[in-house]
Amino acid sequence: MQNLIVHDVIAQTEQLFELQLDRANVAFEPGNCLALFNNNEESRPYSIASGTDDELLRFLIRRVPEGPVSQWLTERKPGDMVQVSEPFGWFQPGRSESEEQSVFIATGTGIAPFLSYLRTMPQQPPQACFYGVSLAAEAFALDELKALPNFQLAVSRETANGDFHGRVTGLMEQLPLESNIHYYLCGLDEMIDEVSGWLEQKNIDYTHIHREVFFYADAT
Amino acid sequence: MPTQRDNNWFFSSKGEKRGYIQPQLLHELWFHTGTSCNLRCPFCLEGSKPGDDRLQFLTLEDAKTFIDEAVEMGVEKFSFTGGEPFVNPHFISILDYALNLKPCLLLTNATEPLMNQFAQIIPLNDKPYPLNFRVSLDHPDPQKHDESRGKGNFKKALDTLGRLHREGFGVSIARHMLDGEDSTAVDKAYAPYFRQAGVPLDITIIKFPEFHTPGSLPNVPEITESCMTSYLTEAQRNGFMCHYSKMIVKEKGECGVYACTLVDDDDDYNLGRTLKEAMTERVMLKHHRCYSCFAYGASCSEGPCNTDGEEGQISA
Protein backbone atom coordinates (compact mmCIF):
# COMPACT_ATOMS: atom_id res chain seq x y z
CA MET A 1 0.00 0.00 0.00
CA GLN A 2 1.09 3.53 -0.62
CA ASN A 3 -0.36 7.01 -0.91
CA LEU A 4 -0.25 8.80 -4.25
CA ILE A 5 -0.83 12.48 -4.94
CA VAL A 6 -3.85 13.50 -7.01
CA HIS A 7 -2.65 15.30 -10.13
CA ASP A 8 -6.08 16.10 -11.51
CA VAL A 9 -9.72 15.02 -11.71
CA ILE A 10 -11.15 15.62 -15.17
CA ALA A 11 -14.89 15.33 -15.76
CA GLN A 12 -15.91 13.55 -18.96
CA THR A 13 -19.65 13.72 -18.29
CA GLU A 14 -21.71 14.09 -15.11
CA GLN A 15 -21.16 10.40 -14.34
CA LEU A 16 -17.73 9.77 -15.81
CA PHE A 17 -14.36 11.22 -14.93
CA GLU A 18 -10.67 10.57 -15.31
CA LEU A 19 -8.61 10.47 -12.12
CA GLN A 20 -4.92 11.22 -12.57
CA LEU A 21 -2.42 10.30 -9.87
CA ASP A 22 1.28 11.04 -9.74
CA ARG A 23 2.87 7.74 -10.56
CA ALA A 24 5.66 7.65 -7.97
CA ASN A 25 7.40 4.29 -8.39
CA VAL A 26 4.41 2.14 -9.41
CA ALA A 27 5.43 -0.44 -12.02
CA PHE A 28 2.66 -2.18 -13.91
CA GLU A 29 1.69 -4.01 -17.10
CA PRO A 30 -1.17 -3.17 -19.46
CA GLY A 31 -4.36 -4.57 -18.00
CA ASN A 32 -3.25 -4.21 -14.38
CA CYS A 33 -5.55 -2.66 -11.78
CA LEU A 34 -4.97 -0.85 -8.55
CA ALA A 35 -7.37 -0.98 -5.64
CA LEU A 36 -8.14 2.66 -4.77
CA PHE A 37 -9.20 3.38 -1.20
CA ASN A 38 -11.46 6.06 0.23
CA ASN A 39 -10.96 7.63 3.65
CA ASN A 40 -12.99 4.84 5.23
CA GLU A 41 -10.65 1.99 4.19
CA GLU A 42 -13.12 0.84 1.52
CA SER A 43 -11.57 -0.03 -1.81
CA ARG A 44 -12.52 -0.80 -5.40
CA PRO A 45 -10.33 -2.05 -8.24
CA TYR A 46 -9.76 0.28 -11.18
CA SER A 47 -7.86 -0.57 -14.32
CA ILE A 48 -4.92 1.65 -15.25
CA ALA A 49 -5.38 3.51 -18.54
CA SER A 50 -1.80 4.82 -18.77
CA GLY A 51 1.10 3.55 -20.81
CA THR A 52 3.76 1.80 -18.80
CA ASP A 53 6.20 4.69 -19.33
CA ASP A 54 3.75 7.51 -18.61
CA GLU A 55 4.35 9.88 -15.70
CA LEU A 56 0.75 9.76 -14.52
CA LEU A 57 -1.53 6.91 -13.49
CA ARG A 58 -4.86 7.49 -15.22
CA PHE A 59 -8.12 5.83 -14.25
CA LEU A 60 -11.48 6.05 -16.02
CA ILE A 61 -14.18 6.01 -13.39
CA ARG A 62 -17.94 5.83 -13.44
CA ARG A 63 -19.51 7.52 -10.45
CA VAL A 64 -21.84 4.95 -8.99
CA PRO A 65 -24.81 6.34 -7.05
CA GLU A 66 -24.14 5.57 -3.38
CA GLY A 67 -20.82 4.03 -4.40
CA PRO A 68 -18.59 4.97 -1.45
CA VAL A 69 -15.31 4.91 -3.37
CA SER A 70 -16.20 6.44 -6.74
CA GLN A 71 -18.16 9.17 -4.97
CA TRP A 72 -15.21 9.99 -2.72
CA LEU A 73 -12.73 9.92 -5.61
CA THR A 74 -14.76 12.36 -7.68
CA GLU A 75 -14.47 14.90 -4.87
CA ARG A 76 -10.65 14.80 -4.77
CA LYS A 77 -8.64 17.91 -5.61
CA PRO A 78 -5.10 18.23 -6.97
CA GLY A 79 -2.66 17.68 -4.13
CA ASP A 80 -4.96 15.34 -2.16
CA MET A 81 -3.68 11.87 -1.33
CA VAL A 82 -5.25 8.56 -2.39
CA GLN A 83 -4.21 5.24 -0.92
CA VAL A 84 -3.58 2.54 -3.52
CA SER A 85 -2.70 -1.16 -3.54
CA GLU A 86 0.06 -2.83 -5.47
CA PRO A 87 -0.81 -3.47 -9.16
CA PHE A 88 -2.57 -6.74 -9.88
CA GLY A 89 -4.66 -8.29 -12.61
CA TRP A 90 -5.68 -11.29 -14.66
CA PHE A 91 -6.50 -9.55 -17.94
CA GLN A 92 -3.56 -8.83 -20.19
CA PRO A 93 -4.62 -7.39 -23.54
CA GLY A 94 -2.19 -8.01 -26.35
CA ARG A 95 -0.09 -10.39 -24.31
CA SER A 96 -0.03 -13.29 -26.71
CA GLU A 97 2.62 -14.95 -28.82
CA SER A 98 4.33 -12.57 -31.21
CA GLU A 99 2.86 -14.17 -34.31
CA GLU A 100 -0.67 -13.86 -32.94
CA GLN A 101 -3.03 -10.93 -33.36
CA SER A 102 -5.42 -9.16 -31.01
CA VAL A 103 -8.92 -7.78 -31.25
CA PHE A 104 -10.23 -5.47 -28.54
CA ILE A 105 -13.90 -4.99 -27.69
CA ALA A 106 -14.89 -2.62 -24.89
CA THR A 107 -17.89 -0.91 -23.43
CA GLY A 108 -17.78 2.23 -21.27
CA THR A 109 -14.82 2.51 -18.91
CA GLY A 110 -13.83 -0.97 -20.08
CA ILE A 111 -11.68 0.81 -22.67
CA ALA A 112 -9.11 1.56 -19.91
CA PRO A 113 -6.96 -1.60 -20.16
CA PHE A 114 -6.91 -1.26 -23.95
CA LEU A 115 -5.76 2.36 -23.71
CA SER A 116 -2.98 1.14 -21.43
CA TYR A 117 -1.91 -1.34 -24.08
CA LEU A 118 -2.18 1.16 -26.94
CA ARG A 119 -0.21 3.77 -25.00
CA THR A 120 2.45 1.17 -24.19
CA MET A 121 2.69 -0.61 -27.54
CA PRO A 122 1.65 1.94 -30.18
CA GLN A 123 3.73 0.11 -32.78
CA GLN A 124 1.63 -3.07 -32.42
CA PRO A 125 -2.02 -2.01 -32.81
CA PRO A 126 -4.79 -4.62 -32.65
CA GLN A 127 -6.41 -5.95 -35.80
CA ALA A 128 -9.62 -4.29 -34.68
CA CYS A 129 -10.87 -2.24 -31.76
CA PHE A 130 -14.63 -1.84 -31.23
CA TYR A 131 -15.87 0.47 -28.49
CA GLY A 132 -19.45 0.78 -27.27
CA VAL A 133 -20.92 3.70 -25.31
CA SER A 134 -24.41 4.95 -24.59
CA LEU A 135 -23.76 8.56 -25.60
CA ALA A 136 -20.97 9.88 -27.82
CA ALA A 137 -19.79 12.23 -25.04
CA GLU A 138 -19.00 9.19 -22.87
CA ALA A 139 -16.26 7.94 -25.19
CA PHE A 140 -12.79 8.42 -23.72
CA ALA A 141 -9.64 9.17 -25.76
CA LEU A 142 -11.39 9.24 -29.12
CA ASP A 143 -8.54 11.09 -30.83
CA GLU A 144 -6.17 8.27 -29.99
CA LEU A 145 -8.63 5.53 -30.80
CA LYS A 146 -9.75 6.94 -34.13
CA ALA A 147 -6.13 6.90 -35.28
CA LEU A 148 -6.16 3.09 -35.10
CA PRO A 149 -6.40 1.20 -38.40
CA ASN A 150 -9.68 -0.60 -37.63
CA PHE A 151 -11.51 1.29 -34.91
CA GLN A 152 -15.26 1.56 -34.65
CA LEU A 153 -17.35 3.42 -32.13
CA ALA A 154 -20.85 2.16 -31.41
CA VAL A 155 -23.23 4.65 -29.79
CA SER A 156 -26.41 3.05 -28.55
CA ARG A 157 -28.66 5.85 -27.31
CA GLU A 158 -28.20 8.56 -29.89
CA THR A 159 -27.25 8.93 -33.50
CA ALA A 160 -23.68 10.13 -33.78
CA ASN A 161 -21.89 11.53 -36.80
CA GLY A 162 -20.29 8.74 -38.78
CA ASP A 163 -20.38 6.26 -35.94
CA PHE A 164 -22.36 3.04 -35.71
CA HIS A 165 -25.75 3.56 -34.08
CA GLY A 166 -26.51 0.65 -31.78
CA ARG A 167 -24.83 -1.62 -29.30
CA VAL A 168 -21.28 -2.73 -29.92
CA THR A 169 -22.55 -6.28 -30.33
CA GLY A 170 -24.19 -5.05 -33.51
CA LEU A 171 -20.69 -4.90 -35.00
CA MET A 172 -19.89 -8.56 -34.38
CA GLU A 173 -20.34 -9.59 -38.00
CA GLN A 174 -17.49 -7.22 -38.85
CA LEU A 175 -15.06 -8.88 -36.46
CA PRO A 176 -12.08 -10.54 -38.12
CA LEU A 177 -12.34 -14.28 -37.43
CA GLU A 178 -9.05 -16.12 -37.59
CA SER A 179 -7.56 -18.89 -35.52
CA ASN A 180 -4.47 -16.88 -34.59
CA ILE A 181 -6.42 -13.94 -33.15
CA HIS A 182 -6.92 -13.43 -29.43
CA TYR A 183 -10.13 -11.62 -28.49
CA TYR A 184 -10.08 -9.35 -25.45
CA LEU A 185 -13.47 -8.30 -24.07
CA CYS A 186 -13.85 -5.75 -21.29
CA GLY A 187 -16.82 -3.92 -19.81
CA LEU A 188 -20.46 -4.86 -19.47
CA ASP A 189 -21.20 -8.49 -18.54
CA GLU A 190 -23.95 -8.81 -21.15
CA MET A 191 -21.62 -7.73 -23.94
CA ILE A 192 -18.96 -10.18 -22.78
CA ASP A 193 -21.40 -13.08 -22.56
CA GLU A 194 -22.90 -12.33 -25.95
CA VAL A 195 -19.63 -11.81 -27.80
CA SER A 196 -17.82 -14.75 -26.21
CA GLY A 197 -20.79 -17.05 -26.96
CA TRP A 198 -20.87 -15.82 -30.56
CA LEU A 199 -17.12 -16.31 -30.97
CA GLU A 200 -17.34 -19.89 -29.70
CA GLN A 201 -20.16 -20.55 -32.16
CA LYS A 202 -17.79 -19.35 -34.84
CA ASN A 203 -15.29 -21.98 -33.66
CA ILE A 204 -12.92 -19.53 -32.03
CA ASP A 205 -10.92 -21.47 -29.45
CA TYR A 206 -12.05 -20.85 -25.86
CA THR A 207 -8.45 -20.14 -24.86
CA HIS A 208 -8.36 -17.25 -27.33
CA ILE A 209 -11.21 -15.39 -25.59
CA HIS A 210 -10.17 -13.22 -22.64
CA ARG A 211 -12.67 -11.51 -20.39
CA GLU A 212 -12.80 -8.75 -17.81
CA VAL A 213 -16.21 -7.80 -16.39
CA PHE A 214 -16.29 -4.20 -15.14
CA PHE A 215 -19.99 -3.82 -14.46
CA TYR A 216 -23.32 -5.55 -14.72
CA ALA A 217 -26.23 -4.61 -16.90
CA ASP A 218 -28.68 -4.41 -14.01
CA ALA A 219 -26.39 -2.19 -11.94
CA THR A 220 -25.91 0.59 -14.47
CA MET B 1 7.42 -17.69 14.79
CA PRO B 2 5.75 -15.74 17.61
CA THR B 3 8.24 -14.70 20.25
CA GLN B 4 5.92 -15.20 23.19
CA ARG B 5 2.55 -16.78 23.62
CA ASP B 6 0.54 -15.75 26.64
CA ASN B 7 -1.55 -17.92 28.94
CA ASN B 8 -4.47 -17.64 26.57
CA TRP B 9 -2.64 -20.05 24.27
CA PHE B 10 -2.49 -22.73 26.93
CA PHE B 11 -5.57 -22.14 29.09
CA SER B 12 -9.25 -21.46 28.44
CA SER B 13 -11.01 -18.38 29.81
CA LYS B 14 -11.97 -20.55 32.79
CA GLY B 15 -8.37 -21.56 33.42
CA GLU B 16 -8.73 -25.11 32.13
CA LYS B 17 -6.01 -26.69 30.00
CA ARG B 18 -6.89 -26.27 26.35
CA GLY B 19 -7.25 -29.26 24.08
CA TYR B 20 -4.39 -29.70 21.67
CA ILE B 21 -3.12 -31.70 18.74
CA GLN B 22 0.40 -33.04 18.55
CA PRO B 23 1.31 -33.10 14.84
CA GLN B 24 2.60 -36.34 13.43
CA LEU B 25 3.63 -37.06 9.85
CA LEU B 26 3.30 -34.31 7.28
CA HIS B 27 0.83 -35.78 4.83
CA GLU B 28 -0.38 -32.65 3.06
CA LEU B 29 1.17 -29.20 2.66
CA TRP B 30 -1.08 -26.25 1.88
CA PHE B 31 0.06 -22.99 0.35
CA HIS B 32 -1.81 -19.73 0.74
CA THR B 33 -1.27 -17.98 -2.59
CA GLY B 34 -2.32 -14.57 -1.20
CA THR B 35 -5.56 -12.89 -0.12
CA SER B 36 -6.05 -10.95 -3.35
CA CYS B 37 -9.15 -12.15 -5.18
CA ASN B 38 -11.20 -11.01 -8.14
CA LEU B 39 -14.36 -11.35 -6.04
CA ARG B 40 -15.47 -9.68 -2.82
CA CYS B 41 -17.68 -12.20 -1.02
CA PRO B 42 -19.12 -10.98 2.29
CA PHE B 43 -18.71 -14.40 3.95
CA CYS B 44 -15.06 -14.90 2.97
CA LEU B 45 -13.11 -16.43 5.84
CA GLU B 46 -9.97 -14.76 4.45
CA GLY B 47 -11.52 -11.33 3.95
CA SER B 48 -10.24 -11.53 0.39
CA LYS B 49 -10.96 -8.88 -2.22
CA PRO B 50 -9.26 -7.31 -5.24
CA GLY B 51 -5.84 -5.97 -4.32
CA ASP B 52 -5.97 -7.27 -0.75
CA ASP B 53 -2.50 -7.89 0.66
CA ARG B 54 -3.09 -9.10 4.21
CA LEU B 55 -1.39 -12.24 2.95
CA GLN B 56 0.93 -11.55 0.05
CA PHE B 57 1.49 -13.35 -3.24
CA LEU B 58 3.68 -16.38 -2.79
CA THR B 59 6.44 -16.54 -5.42
CA LEU B 60 7.95 -19.63 -7.01
CA GLU B 61 11.13 -19.08 -4.99
CA ASP B 62 9.08 -18.88 -1.77
CA ALA B 63 7.20 -22.06 -2.59
CA LYS B 64 10.19 -24.08 -3.81
CA THR B 65 11.87 -23.96 -0.42
CA PHE B 66 8.88 -25.54 1.30
CA ILE B 67 7.99 -27.92 -1.53
CA ASP B 68 11.50 -29.35 -1.41
CA GLU B 69 11.53 -29.57 2.38
CA ALA B 70 8.11 -31.24 2.39
CA VAL B 71 9.20 -33.84 -0.17
CA GLU B 72 12.18 -34.67 2.03
CA MET B 73 9.74 -35.17 4.91
CA GLY B 74 7.56 -37.57 2.92
CA VAL B 75 4.63 -35.30 2.06
CA GLU B 76 2.00 -36.95 -0.14
CA LYS B 77 0.26 -33.96 -1.72
CA PHE B 78 0.28 -30.21 -2.14
CA SER B 79 -2.82 -28.06 -1.91
CA PHE B 80 -3.38 -24.40 -2.75
CA THR B 81 -5.90 -21.86 -1.56
CA GLY B 82 -6.35 -18.08 -1.58
CA GLY B 83 -7.80 -15.52 -2.29
CA GLU B 84 -8.18 -16.74 -5.80
CA PRO B 85 -4.97 -18.60 -6.63
CA PHE B 86 -5.07 -17.64 -10.31
CA VAL B 87 -4.87 -13.96 -9.37
CA ASN B 88 -1.33 -14.67 -8.17
CA PRO B 89 0.91 -14.08 -11.22
CA HIS B 90 3.37 -16.75 -10.02
CA PHE B 91 0.79 -19.45 -9.44
CA ILE B 92 1.03 -21.43 -12.65
CA SER B 93 4.82 -21.62 -12.36
CA ILE B 94 4.40 -22.86 -8.77
CA LEU B 95 1.98 -25.56 -9.95
CA ASP B 96 4.32 -26.47 -12.79
CA TYR B 97 7.08 -27.12 -10.25
CA ALA B 98 4.96 -28.89 -7.63
CA LEU B 99 3.33 -31.23 -10.16
CA ASN B 100 6.73 -32.71 -10.94
CA LEU B 101 6.85 -33.99 -7.38
CA LYS B 102 3.40 -34.75 -5.94
CA PRO B 103 -0.32 -34.59 -6.74
CA CYS B 104 -1.85 -31.16 -6.27
CA LEU B 105 -5.26 -29.81 -5.32
CA LEU B 106 -6.33 -26.20 -5.76
CA LEU B 107 -9.37 -24.26 -4.61
CA THR B 108 -10.80 -21.78 -7.08
CA ASN B 109 -13.86 -19.70 -7.85
CA ALA B 110 -13.36 -20.76 -11.50
CA THR B 111 -14.12 -17.34 -12.96
CA GLU B 112 -12.11 -14.90 -15.10
CA PRO B 113 -8.62 -15.37 -13.55
CA LEU B 114 -8.78 -19.09 -14.31
CA MET B 115 -10.72 -18.75 -17.56
CA ASN B 116 -8.23 -16.23 -18.97
CA GLN B 117 -5.32 -18.58 -18.26
CA PHE B 118 -6.90 -21.75 -19.56
CA ALA B 119 -4.30 -22.08 -22.33
CA GLN B 120 -1.52 -22.14 -19.73
CA ILE B 121 -3.46 -24.57 -17.50
CA ILE B 122 -4.12 -27.30 -20.08
CA PRO B 123 -0.44 -28.37 -20.38
CA LEU B 124 -0.37 -29.01 -16.61
CA ASN B 125 -2.33 -32.18 -17.38
CA ASP B 126 0.83 -33.62 -18.93
CA LYS B 127 2.86 -33.29 -15.74
CA PRO B 128 3.98 -36.42 -13.84
CA TYR B 129 1.37 -35.99 -11.07
CA PRO B 130 -2.35 -35.18 -11.31
CA LEU B 131 -3.95 -31.80 -10.67
CA ASN B 132 -7.38 -31.58 -9.06
CA PHE B 133 -9.58 -28.51 -9.04
CA ARG B 134 -12.10 -27.82 -6.28
CA VAL B 135 -14.58 -25.27 -7.59
CA SER B 136 -16.74 -23.20 -5.25
CA LEU B 137 -20.44 -23.65 -5.98
CA ASP B 138 -21.88 -22.38 -2.73
CA HIS B 139 -25.49 -23.46 -3.23
CA PRO B 140 -27.37 -25.63 -5.74
CA ASP B 141 -29.16 -22.43 -6.73
CA PRO B 142 -27.42 -20.03 -9.13
CA GLN B 143 -29.25 -16.99 -7.79
CA LYS B 144 -28.19 -17.70 -4.21
CA HIS B 145 -24.60 -18.31 -5.26
CA ASP B 146 -24.53 -15.08 -7.26
CA GLU B 147 -25.99 -12.99 -4.42
CA SER B 148 -22.59 -13.13 -2.73
CA ARG B 149 -20.24 -13.88 -5.59
CA GLY B 150 -21.67 -11.59 -8.25
CA LYS B 151 -24.06 -11.95 -11.14
CA GLY B 152 -23.29 -14.71 -13.60
CA ASN B 153 -20.56 -16.33 -11.53
CA PHE B 154 -22.42 -19.60 -10.88
CA LYS B 155 -22.77 -20.10 -14.63
CA LYS B 156 -19.09 -19.31 -15.22
CA ALA B 157 -17.94 -21.63 -12.44
CA LEU B 158 -20.17 -24.47 -13.63
CA ASP B 159 -19.03 -24.02 -17.21
CA THR B 160 -15.38 -24.01 -16.13
CA LEU B 161 -15.95 -27.11 -13.99
CA GLY B 162 -17.16 -28.94 -17.07
CA ARG B 163 -14.28 -27.69 -19.23
CA LEU B 164 -11.73 -28.80 -16.64
CA HIS B 165 -13.32 -32.24 -16.48
CA ARG B 166 -13.32 -32.55 -20.26
CA GLU B 167 -9.63 -31.66 -20.31
CA GLY B 168 -9.03 -34.63 -18.00
CA PHE B 169 -8.43 -32.83 -14.70
CA GLY B 170 -9.93 -34.11 -11.48
CA VAL B 171 -12.79 -31.96 -10.20
CA SER B 172 -14.78 -31.58 -7.02
CA ILE B 173 -16.86 -28.77 -5.57
CA ALA B 174 -17.04 -26.91 -2.27
CA ARG B 175 -20.34 -25.69 -0.90
CA HIS B 176 -21.77 -23.96 2.10
CA MET B 177 -23.26 -26.06 4.88
CA LEU B 178 -26.36 -24.53 6.41
CA ASP B 179 -27.55 -25.06 9.96
CA GLY B 180 -29.99 -27.93 10.17
CA GLU B 181 -29.73 -28.81 6.51
CA ASP B 182 -30.56 -32.19 5.02
CA SER B 183 -27.09 -32.72 3.59
CA THR B 184 -28.05 -35.60 1.34
CA ALA B 185 -30.88 -33.61 -0.19
CA VAL B 186 -28.69 -30.56 -0.74
CA ASP B 187 -26.00 -32.67 -2.39
CA LYS B 188 -28.59 -34.29 -4.66
CA ALA B 189 -29.86 -30.86 -5.71
CA TYR B 190 -26.59 -30.36 -7.60
CA ALA B 191 -27.34 -33.27 -9.96
CA PRO B 192 -29.03 -31.22 -12.72
CA TYR B 193 -26.15 -28.78 -12.73
CA PHE B 194 -23.57 -31.55 -12.84
CA ARG B 195 -25.46 -33.06 -15.79
CA GLN B 196 -25.49 -29.67 -17.49
CA ALA B 197 -21.72 -29.35 -17.01
CA GLY B 198 -21.12 -32.93 -18.11
CA VAL B 199 -19.38 -33.98 -14.90
CA PRO B 200 -20.05 -37.24 -13.05
CA LEU B 201 -22.91 -37.01 -10.58
CA ASP B 202 -20.79 -38.52 -7.82
CA ILE B 203 -17.95 -35.99 -7.74
CA THR B 204 -16.82 -35.10 -4.24
CA ILE B 205 -18.75 -32.31 -2.52
CA ILE B 206 -16.92 -30.66 0.36
CA LYS B 207 -19.18 -28.84 2.80
CA PHE B 208 -18.00 -25.89 4.85
CA PRO B 209 -19.76 -24.46 7.88
CA GLU B 210 -19.74 -20.73 8.66
CA PHE B 211 -16.14 -19.78 9.48
CA HIS B 212 -16.63 -16.02 10.00
CA THR B 213 -14.36 -13.28 8.64
CA PRO B 214 -10.73 -12.84 9.78
CA GLY B 215 -10.26 -11.42 13.24
CA SER B 216 -13.86 -12.03 14.26
CA LEU B 217 -14.50 -13.56 17.67
CA PRO B 218 -17.75 -15.49 17.58
CA ASN B 219 -18.85 -17.06 20.80
CA VAL B 220 -18.13 -20.78 20.50
CA PRO B 221 -17.50 -23.37 23.21
CA GLU B 222 -13.88 -23.68 24.29
CA ILE B 223 -12.14 -27.01 23.76
CA THR B 224 -10.38 -28.39 26.82
CA GLU B 225 -8.00 -31.30 27.20
CA SER B 226 -10.77 -33.41 28.64
CA CYS B 227 -13.09 -32.61 25.69
CA MET B 228 -10.52 -34.13 23.37
CA THR B 229 -10.44 -37.43 25.23
CA SER B 230 -14.05 -37.57 26.44
CA TYR B 231 -15.77 -36.84 23.13
CA LEU B 232 -13.29 -37.86 20.44
CA THR B 233 -11.62 -41.10 19.53
CA GLU B 234 -7.95 -41.27 18.63
CA ALA B 235 -8.94 -41.69 14.99
CA GLN B 236 -11.02 -38.50 15.19
CA ARG B 237 -8.15 -36.59 16.78
CA ASN B 238 -5.90 -37.82 14.00
CA GLY B 239 -8.40 -36.40 11.51
CA PHE B 240 -7.70 -32.81 12.59
CA MET B 241 -5.88 -31.03 9.78
CA CYS B 242 -3.23 -29.73 12.16
CA HIS B 243 -2.33 -33.35 12.90
CA TYR B 244 -1.18 -34.13 9.38
CA SER B 245 -0.90 -30.87 7.45
CA LYS B 246 0.47 -27.34 7.61
CA MET B 247 0.01 -24.18 5.55
CA ILE B 248 2.61 -21.79 4.16
CA VAL B 249 1.67 -18.12 4.38
CA LYS B 250 3.52 -15.01 3.21
CA GLU B 251 2.99 -11.98 5.36
CA LYS B 252 4.96 -8.73 5.54
CA GLY B 253 7.54 -10.14 3.15
CA GLU B 254 8.26 -13.32 5.10
CA CYS B 255 6.96 -16.86 4.82
CA GLY B 256 5.77 -18.73 7.87
CA VAL B 257 4.35 -22.17 8.58
CA TYR B 258 0.84 -22.03 10.01
CA ALA B 259 -0.96 -24.82 11.83
CA CYS B 260 -3.71 -25.22 9.23
CA THR B 261 -5.71 -23.45 6.54
CA LEU B 262 -8.14 -21.80 8.92
CA VAL B 263 -6.06 -19.90 11.47
CA ASP B 264 -3.87 -17.53 9.47
CA ASP B 265 -5.39 -14.48 11.16
CA ASP B 266 -3.77 -15.35 14.50
CA ASP B 267 0.03 -15.06 14.92
CA ASP B 268 -0.01 -17.66 17.68
CA TYR B 269 -0.52 -20.26 14.97
CA ASN B 270 2.60 -19.23 13.07
CA LEU B 271 4.67 -22.23 14.12
CA GLY B 272 8.01 -21.38 12.59
CA ARG B 273 10.06 -20.74 9.48
CA THR B 274 10.61 -24.39 8.52
CA LEU B 275 8.32 -27.38 8.31
CA LYS B 276 10.58 -29.47 10.51
CA GLU B 277 10.41 -26.84 13.22
CA ALA B 278 6.64 -26.41 12.86
CA MET B 279 5.88 -30.12 13.03
CA THR B 280 7.33 -30.27 16.53
CA GLU B 281 4.97 -27.57 17.81
CA ARG B 282 1.90 -28.66 19.76
CA VAL B 283 -1.20 -26.91 18.35
CA MET B 284 -3.52 -25.57 21.03
CA LEU B 285 -7.18 -25.50 19.97
CA LYS B 286 -7.98 -21.94 21.00
CA HIS B 287 -9.12 -20.46 17.66
CA HIS B 288 -12.87 -20.23 17.15
CA ARG B 289 -12.44 -22.18 13.91
CA CYS B 290 -10.88 -25.06 15.87
CA TYR B 291 -14.37 -25.64 17.17
CA SER B 292 -15.54 -26.35 13.60
CA CYS B 293 -12.99 -29.16 13.43
CA PHE B 294 -14.03 -30.40 16.84
CA ALA B 295 -17.79 -30.23 16.28
CA TYR B 296 -18.11 -30.97 12.57
CA GLY B 297 -14.88 -32.71 11.66
CA ALA B 298 -14.20 -29.77 9.34
CA SER B 299 -11.43 -30.41 6.89
CA CYS B 300 -10.21 -28.67 3.77
CA SER B 301 -8.56 -31.89 2.67
CA GLU B 302 -9.77 -34.60 0.35
CA GLY B 303 -7.03 -37.04 1.29
CA PRO B 304 -7.11 -40.28 3.19
CA CYS B 305 -6.33 -38.80 6.59
CA ASN B 306 -9.83 -38.48 7.98
CA THR B 307 -10.01 -41.94 9.38
CA ASP B 308 -13.45 -41.61 10.88
CA GLY B 309 -16.58 -40.98 8.89
CA GLU B 310 -16.66 -39.87 5.26
CA GLU B 311 -13.22 -38.98 4.09
CA GLY B 312 -12.51 -35.33 3.73
CA GLN B 313 -16.10 -34.32 4.20
CA ILE B 314 -17.71 -32.53 7.02
CA SER B 315 -20.26 -34.62 8.78
CA ALA B 316 -22.09 -33.25 11.76
Predicted confidence at residue A118, as pLDDT, reads 97
Q: Residue A23 sits in a domain of what CATH number?
A: 2.40.30.10
Looking at the structure, do residues A67 and A137 belong to the same domain, yes or no?
A: no
Query: So what's the ipTM on this one?
Result: 0.93
Summarised one tens digit per residue, pLDDT across range A94-142 is 876 666 899 999 999 999 999 999 999 999 999 999 999 999 999 999 9
Q: Looking at the predicted structure, is the pLDDT value of residue B122 above 60?
A: yes
Interfacial B residues in 21-40 facing A (CB < 8 Å) = 36, 38
A90, A183, A210: best to mutate for the B interface, most B CBs within 10 A: A90
- Domain locations along chain B: 25-296
**DSSP per residue, B75-137:** --EEEEESS-GGGSTTHHHHHHHHTTTS-EEEEE--SHHHHTTHHHHGGGGGSSS-EEEEEE-
Q: Which helix (H) or strand (E) holds A16?
A: strand A16-22
Count how many domains chain A has: 2
The confidence band for B87, taking pLDDT boundaries of 50, 70 and 90, is very high
Rounded Cα gap, residues A129 and A118, in angstroms = 11
Give the fold, CATH level 3, of B25-296. TIM Barrel (3.20.20)
Identify which of B278, B267, B280, B275 has the alpha carbon closest to the alpha carbon of residue B2. B267
Predicted confidence at residue B120, as pLDDT, reads 96
Interfacial B residues in 157-176 facing A (CB < 8 Å) = 163
For residue A151, being part of any structural domain is answered with yes
Summarised one tens digit per residue, pLDDT across range B15-51 is 999 999 999 899 999 999 999 999 999 988 888 999 9
Looking at the structure, do residues A108 and A32 belong to the same domain, yes or no?
A: no
The confidence band for B315, taking pLDDT boundaries of 50, 70 and 90, is very low
Residues of A in contact with B154 (CB under 8 A): none
The SS3 of residue A71 is helix
Predicted confidence at residue B269, as pLDDT, reads 92
Rounded Cα gap, residues B36 and B62, in angstroms = 17
Summarised one tens digit per residue, pLDDT across range B262-303 is 888 899 999 999 999 999 999 999 988 888 788 776 566 765
For residue A94, being part of any structural domain is answered with no
Predicted confidence at residue B316, as pLDDT, reads 22
Q: How far is A161 from chain B (nearest CA, A)?
A: 35
Task: Decide which of A55, A84, A113 is a domain's last residue.
Answer: A84
What is the interface size between A and B, counted as CB pairs within 8 Å? 57
* Domain that includes residue A49, residue range: 2-84
For residue A119, being part of any structural domain is answered with yes
Touching check for A218 and chain B: CB below 8 Å?
A: yes
The confidence band for B304, taking pLDDT boundaries of 50, 70 and 90, is very low
The reply to whether residue B152 touches residue A189, judged by beta carbons under 8 angstroms, is: yes
Looking at the structure, do residues A123 and A76 belong to the same domain, yes or no?
A: no
Choose the weakest-confidence range: A35-44, A96-105, B111-120.
A96-105
pTM higher than the cut 0.80? yes
DSSP A42: -
Interfacial B residues in 138-157 facing A (CB < 8 Å) = 150-152
Looking at the structure, do residues A138 and A211 belong to the same domain, yes or no?
A: yes
Task: Decide which of A25, A52, A84 is a domain's last residue.
Answer: A84
Q: How far is B76 from chain A (nearest CA, A)?
A: 30
Rounded Cα gap, residues A178 and A203, in angstroms = 9
Rounded Cα gap, residues A89 and B38, in angstroms = 8
**Angle at CA of residue A38, ends A82 and B150, nearest 5°:** 125
For residue A78, being part of any structural domain is answered with yes
For residue A73, being part of any structural domain is answered with yes
Q: Residue A183 sits in a domain of what CATH number?
A: 3.40.50.80
The type of residue at A134 is: S
Residues of A in contact with B49 (CB under 8 A): 35, 43
Q: Give residue A199's region: left, alpha or beta (phi > 0; psi -120 to 50).
A: alpha
The reply to whether residue A216 touches residue B113, judged by beta carbons under 8 angstroms, is: no
Task: Decide which of A49, A84, A119 is a domain's last residue.
Answer: A84
Rounded Cα gap, residues A188 and B3, in angstroms = 50
Dihedrals phi, psi of A18, to nearest 5 degrees: -110, 125
Looking at the structure, do residues A63 and A122 belong to the same domain, yes or no?
A: no
Q: Looking at the predicted structure, is the pLDDT value of residue B308 above 60?
A: no
